[in-house]
């Protein structure tokens, strides 16, 4: 008998020692103080330890989980050699149809192309002549684009400096980003989502601007009715706003006029300031000048009150306005952030508003190096955060030509369709160096420098799923989860001791090892422990004890039939084994299915459940059997404490 048991002891011993070895780093890490961690980090040893500890999921650690989807319709629009309304229509319908789940954009796109009889070669001749060739070509281009997006995002996140970021492709056009322990989720989101499209546009002169505004007012006066305008300026998307609110907004409007902000028409001298203006109601002003009525002078530029920005955007989106602007080769853009009017007592913030050329003189592709700094003394931006750019030789040449030819004009530096600054060109800039201003903080400037260095995304990305867990909720979850595990475990341990006495003790021993082994496996698989994972651990406690209950009840039955302890144990284990296997396999199936279909935290639950059950077959059956055998192998055992 003794010789039969030796290999069993060996197997159990080796596995248990392995579990301790695998869990040791986690234990040490838990005991370390922040200072010790810091000193290990500087010596570079911390990473080695961290790679061997149990990783905590975002729901426990706090952090953000983001799923980005490449905007393929926009990419397709950009790839087209020649864009027209027909193509835009097809792209838009295809986009709308592909918002249904599990619908591939390209499939719908091709269907739409066929139903509209669109000749793809007209737009995408660079990919081939036939429709098949072109479809294959653009799909390859899209795949390539998403891979570049992945690479660029990786680059950005690496430079941002987050511990253990995960950036993975999911499906064809999606990227999943997990950032643990992020405090400023907005900063991280901007860093990921920013297309980083840097463009330099010449600002159209005052005369052209004035003319365009007058023409747009004319167009809008004809097509926009008063009510719509009022609705827009109050920004009502919802109808439940109480009545008084309306008149209040209108009054505010008048107040602003009283304070001497001039309309743009006045500013540019199109008409004399009409004193009666101030007594006009807001509605009347809009009726006369739908667009310029919303504009005010703002330290040398046109300004738009923050609350009116939405209304202006809506007006500019109108097709008749767009086609007018297209014909004039111009576009209106807003400044990056709204500002307070200097010297004003009101807290109202204004966006600057610019009328620019339609085609950029230069784009961000020429940027070689970007660095965040504080503006030097003596310059206009002293002490302000700036980003200094260095361009490559091509860029420098163009930049030098553009600045040389337009001395005295203004050029705007536009990032992702938002104007950061629009300085006047004082002299030709031959070196290809330039500075961008207009950042809120040095952190923002740093982030912009990072994304400019990493390059622009070939396709815009949209956030389609986002989960942020604050640090305090994560800490609460850990504390409560751990508590629940300990209380549940203790309850079960006590029950087993009371009900099965010495045999219960054996089962308890196996149960504790079951939990330790699951944790050891998590540590060595570099799997993550999530909150549902902790729940899985508790369930494992419940389910693994079931195996012992089945076995023990069987042994009791056999003992009642009058068998000796040794024979009863033999029969009990043999009979119970098939039951345990059948019962556990079904739960394993459920766990595997969960793993397959689940995301993030649910996967964590499935992982723990899967390993928990598998290991329970070892601890609750094999380990306990070994202990029973070693007891009964001694001679003279006549009773069993069960």
For residue 246, CA distances in Å to 241, 251, 296, 349 come to 8, 9, 21, 20
Nearest approach, Cβ of 584 to another protein (angstroms)? Answer: 8
Contacting range for another protein; rule: CB under 8 A; set: 23-31, 194-202, 214-222, 304-312: 304-312
Q: Please give the Cα distance from 558 to 233 (Å, whole number).
A: 85
Size of the site for another protein (CB under 8 A): 91
Q: Per CB under 8 A, does 591 bind another protein? A: yes
- Region of 61 please: left (phi>0), alpha (psi -120 to 50) or beta: alpha
Backbone phi and psi for residue 386, each to the nearest 5 degrees, phi listed first: -135, 160
Exactly one of 77, 235, 330, 375 binds another protein (CB under 8 A); that residue is 235
The CB-of-479 to another protein minimum distance in angstroms stands at 8
- Segment 571-590, which members bind another protein (CB under 8 A)? 575, 578-579, 582-587, 589-590
Which of 260, 269, 380, 542 forms a contact with another protein (CB under 8 A)? 542
- Find the binding residues for another protein in span 99-138 (CB under 8 A): 99-102
Q: Parallel, antiparallel, or unpaired: how do β-strands 55-56 and 528-529 relate? A: parallel
Q: Which is nearer to another protein, 86 or 314 (CB)?
A: 314
Q: How far is the CB of 388 from another protein (least distance, A)?
A: 26
CB of 65 to another protein, least distance (A): 9
- Which contiguous run of DSSP H or E holds residue 175? strand 174-180
- What is the DSSP pairing of strand 301-305 with strand 295-298? antiparallel
Q: Does 488 bind another protein (CB under 8 A)?
A: yes
Q: In terms of CB distance, is 234 or 263 closer to another protein? A: 234
- Copy the structure tokens of residue 229: 């305008």
Please name which of 128, 145, 150, 129 lies closest in space to residue 76, comparing C-alpha atoms. 145
Query: Of 110-118, 125-133, 595-603, 623-631, which segment contacts another protein by CB under 8 A?
Result: 595-603
Tell the smallest beta-carbon distance from residue 125 to another protein (Å): 32
Q: Are strands 295-298 and 418-421 parallel, antiparallel or unpaired?
A: unpaired
Rounded-to-integer distance, Cα 257 and Cα 284, Å: 13
CA atoms within 13 A on the CB side of 3: 0
One residue of 35, 240, 243, 272 binding another protein per CB under 8 A: 240
For residues 510 and 624, the answer to whether their CB atoms sit within 8 Å is yes
> With CB under 8 A as the contact rule, which of the stretches 105-113, 362-370, 372-380, 552-560 interacts with another protein?
552-560
User: Taking CB under 8 A as the criterion, which residues in 418-437 touch another protein?
Assistant: none
User: What are the phi and psi torsion angles at 335 (to 5°)?
Assistant: -75, 165
CB-nearer residue toward another protein: 239 or 634: 239
Helix, strand or coil, per DSSP, at residue 339: strand
The binder of another protein chosen from 601, 607, 612, 640 (CB under 8 A): 601
From the CB of 41, what's the least distance to another protein, in Å?
Answer: 22
Task: Report the residue from 50, 133, 339, 557 that binds another protein according to the rule CB under 8 A.
Answer: 557
Identify which of residues 97 and 401 has a Cβ nearer to another protein in the complex.
Answer: 97
Does 558 participate in binding another protein (rule CB under 8 A)? no
By the 8 A CB rule, do 138 and 158 touch?
no
- Candidates 134-142, 212-220, 393-401, 495-503; binding stretch for another protein (CB under 8 A): 495-503
Binding mask 59-88 vs another protein (x if CB under 8 A, - otherwise)?
x-------x---------------------
| Residue located via tokens 């394993």 | 588
Residue number with CB closer to another protein (59 or 217):
59
Residue with tokens 């160096």: 433
Distance, in Å, from the CA atom of 238 to the CA atom of 441, rounded to the nearest integer, reads 34
Contact 535, 604 (CB under 8 A): no
- Cβ closer to another protein: 48 or 417? 417
DSSP string, 26-79: HHHHHH--HHHHHHHHHHT-HHHHHTTSPEEPHHHH-EEEEEEEE-HHHHHHHH
- Out of 51, 183, 223, 247, the residue judged to bind another protein by CB under 8 A: 183
Position among 473, 516, 567, 631 found at the interface with another protein (CB under 8 A): 473
Residue 127 is classified by DSSP as: G
Q: Which is nearer to another protein, 208 or 602 (CB)?
A: 602
CA distances from 145 to 152, 189, 325, 456 (A): 10, 20, 31, 11
- Minimum distance, C-beta of residue 595 to another protein, in the bound complex (Å): 10
Nearest 5°: the CA angle 332, 334, 336 is 150
User: 480 is written with which tokens?
Assistant: 């409560």
Question: Among residues 605 and 628, whose Cβ is nearest to another protein?
Answer: 605
Q: Extract long-range pairs of 316-321: CB within 8 Å, 24+ residues apart.
A: 318/220, 318/223, 318/224, 320/219, 320/223, 321/216, 321/219, 321/220
Residues 501-540 that bind another protein (CB under 8 A): 501, 531-532, 534-535, 538-539
> According to CB under 8 A, which residues from 365 to 404 bind another protein?
none
- Binding part of the chain for another protein, among 222-230, 323-331, 422-430, 551-559 by CB under 8 A, reads 551-559
**Is the Cβ of residue 330 or residue 598 nearer to another protein in the bound state?**
598
Contact between 550 and another protein per CB under 8 A:
yes
Site string for another protein, 21-50 (x = CB under 8 A): ------------------------------
């Amino acid at each position: 008998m003794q010789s039969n048991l030796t290999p069993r002891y060996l197997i159990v011993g080796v596995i248990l020692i392995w579990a301790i070895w695998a869990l040791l780093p986690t234990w040490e890490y838990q005991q370390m103080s922040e200072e010790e961690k810091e000193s290990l980090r500087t010596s570079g040893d911390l990473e080695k330890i961290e790679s061997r500890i149990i990783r905590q999921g975002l729901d426990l650690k706090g952090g953000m989980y983001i799923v980005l989807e490449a905007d393929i319709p926009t990419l397709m629009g950009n790839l087209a050699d020649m864009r027209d309304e027909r193509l835009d229509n097809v792209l838009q319908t295809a986009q709308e149809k592909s918002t249904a789940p599990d619908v591939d954009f390209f499939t719908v796109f091709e269907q739409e192309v066929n139903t509209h009889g669109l000749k793809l070669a007209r737009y995408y001749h660079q990919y081939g002549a036939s429709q098949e060739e072109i479809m294959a070509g653009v799909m390859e281009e899209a795949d390539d684009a998403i891979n570049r997006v992945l690479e660029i995002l990786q680059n950005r996140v690496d430079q941002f400096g987050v511990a253990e970021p995960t950036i993975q492709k999911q499906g064809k056009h999606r990227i999943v980003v997990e950032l643990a322990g992020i405090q400023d989720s907005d900063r991280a989101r901007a860093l990921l989502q920013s297309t980083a499209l840097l463009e330099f546009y010449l600002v159209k002169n005052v005369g052209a601007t004035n003319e365009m505004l007058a023409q747009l007012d004319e167009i809008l006066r004809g097509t926009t009715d008063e009510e719509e305008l009022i609705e827009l300026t109050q920004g009502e998307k919802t109808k439940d706003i109480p009545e008084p609110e309306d008149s209040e907004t209108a009054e505010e409007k008048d107040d602003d006029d009283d304070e001497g902000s001039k309309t743009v028409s006045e500013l540019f001298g199109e008409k004399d300031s009409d004193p009666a203006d101030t007594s006009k109601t807001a509605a009347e002003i809009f009726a006369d000048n739908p667009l310029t009525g919303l504009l005010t002078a703002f330290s040398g530029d046109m300004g738009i009150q923050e609350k009116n920005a939405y209304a202006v955007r809506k007006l500019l989106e109108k097709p008749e306005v767009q086609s007018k602007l297209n014909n004039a080769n111009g576009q209106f853009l807003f400044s990056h952030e709204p500002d307070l009017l200097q010297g004003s007592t009101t807290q109202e913030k204004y966006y600057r508003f610019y009328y620019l050329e339609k085609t950029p003189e230069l784009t961000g592709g020429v940027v070689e190096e970007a660095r965040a700094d504080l503006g030097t003394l003596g310059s206009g931006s002293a002490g302000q955060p700036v980003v200094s750019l260095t361009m490559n030789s091509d860029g420098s040449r163009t930049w030098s030509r553009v600045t040389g030819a337009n001395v005295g004009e203004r050029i705007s530096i536009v990032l992702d369709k938002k104007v950061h600054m629009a300085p006047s060109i004082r002299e030709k800039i031959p070196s290809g160096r330039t500075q961008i201003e207009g950042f809120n903080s040095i952190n923002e400037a740093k982030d912009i420098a990072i994304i400019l260095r990493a390059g622009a995304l070939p396709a815009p990305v949209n956030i389609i799923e986002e989960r942020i867990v604050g640090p305090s909720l994560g800490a609460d979850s850990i504390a409560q989860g751990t508590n629940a595990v300990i209380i549940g475990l203790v309850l079960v341990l006590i029950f087993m001791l009371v009900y099965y006495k010495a045999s219960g003790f054996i089962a308890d021993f196996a149960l504790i090892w079951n939990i330790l082994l699951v944790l050891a496996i998590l540590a060595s698989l570099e799997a993550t422990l999530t909150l549902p994972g902790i729940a899985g651990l508790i369930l494992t406690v419940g389910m693994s004890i079931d195996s012992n209950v089945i076995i023990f009840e069987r042994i009791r039955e056999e003992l009642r039939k009058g068998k000796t302890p040794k024979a009863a144990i033999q029969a009990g284990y043999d009979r119970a084994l098939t039951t345990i296997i059948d019962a556990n396999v079904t739960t394993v199936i459920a766990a595997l299915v969960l793993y397959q279909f689940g995301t993030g935290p649910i996967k964590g639950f499935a992982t723990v459940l899967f390993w928990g059950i598998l290991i329970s077959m070892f601890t609750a059956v094999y380990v306990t059997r070994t202990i029973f055998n070693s007891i009964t192998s001694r001679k003279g055992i006549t009773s069993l404490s069960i």
